[in-house]
Amino acid sequence: MPKTFLNTAKTATLAKPLGAALLLSLGLSLGGCGGLPQNRTLESVHQPVVQRDSYVFDVNTLPGGGVSGPEQGRLAGWFDAMDLRYGDHVTVDDPMQSAVTRAAIEAVASRHGILLGDTAPVTAGYVNAGSVRVVVSRLTAEVPHCPDWSGKSDTNFNNATYGNYGCASNSNLAAMVADKEHLIRGATGNGETSIMSSTKAIDSYRTAKPTGEGGLKAQSSQSGGN
């Protein structure tokens, strides 16, 4: 009997630290759940954010309207320094609304494949008399706070979407879209997609009549001579 009693006491003594360790481990695991994501949808919380920056350049105009050659050269140099490219929006703030001036500026912008927009955004300061303001609006897109490794564990008892979900796809999308404005309101145009435009040449080739459809031209194999 004493031997049995001593063995029971020893077992109870060992069970105390094991139970305390188990409770401590469970408490730490549950406490770590506070840093896990709580988004229970399949939509990523990290979406592209589009930012618009406007750059201005004042160009001197001629008394009757238009832009002189040297001023056009200055404007062309500024476009080159800005690395004007597809996706940039160029507008003209002209108090006189001169069609000749607009045509001269559009001719310089067209060398970069850019057409002028209709309405210029509001910019700081006033346009001096005898000059117009050329505005280049450039949009950039990025996904803030990506990558997101804030989650402490892959275990999530709320069945929530992991915080880093969507970071790679949306970051690549923001980087690849040429015109960032399409991320806001989509592309507008004549309803024709780029794929439809690119297949026009293929369709023309397929629908063209074969060159030998009318038969071969009869020609004598005998050559004339002396």
Domain ranges (residues) in the chain: 54-137
Cis omega (within 30 of 0) on the bond before 147? yes
The least confident of 3-12, 47-56, 91-100, 208-217 is 3-12
CB 59 within 8 A of CB 75: yes
Average pLDDT over residues 39-45: 88
Task: Give CA angle at 84 (83, 89), nearest 5°.
Answer: 145
Average pLDDT over residues 72-79: 96
Which DSSP category does 50 fall into? Answer: E
List the one residue out of 106, 107, 125 whose CA is nearest residue 56: 125
CA separation for the pair 58, 116 (Å, rounded): 16
How sure is the predictor about 6, in pLDDT bands with cuts at 50, 70 and 90? very low
Average pLDDT over residues 145-174: 86
Q: How far is CA 170 from CA 4, 6, 38, 43, 99, in A?
A: 68, 66, 20, 11, 42
* pLDDT value of position 2: 40
DSSP E strands, the chain: 49-60, 89-93, 131-142
Q: How far is CA 9 from CA 4, 45, 81, 86, in A?
A: 9, 56, 86, 82
pLDDT tens readout for residues 127-140: 988 999 999 999 99
Residue 121 vs residue 10, higher pLDDT: 121
3-state DSSP helix/strand/coil percent for the chain, to nearest 5? 40, 15, 50
pLDDT averaged over the chain? 79
pTM of the shown model: 0.60
Average pLDDT over residues 56-63: 95
| Residue length of the chain | 226
Q: How far is CA 144 from CA 57, 164, 165, 168, 192, in A?
A: 31, 12, 13, 12, 33
How sure is the predictor about 21, in pLDDT bands with cuts at 50, 70 and 90? very low
**Residue 192 pLDDT > 60:** no
For tokens 């930012």, what's the residue?
A: 51
**Residue 190 pLDDT > 80:** no
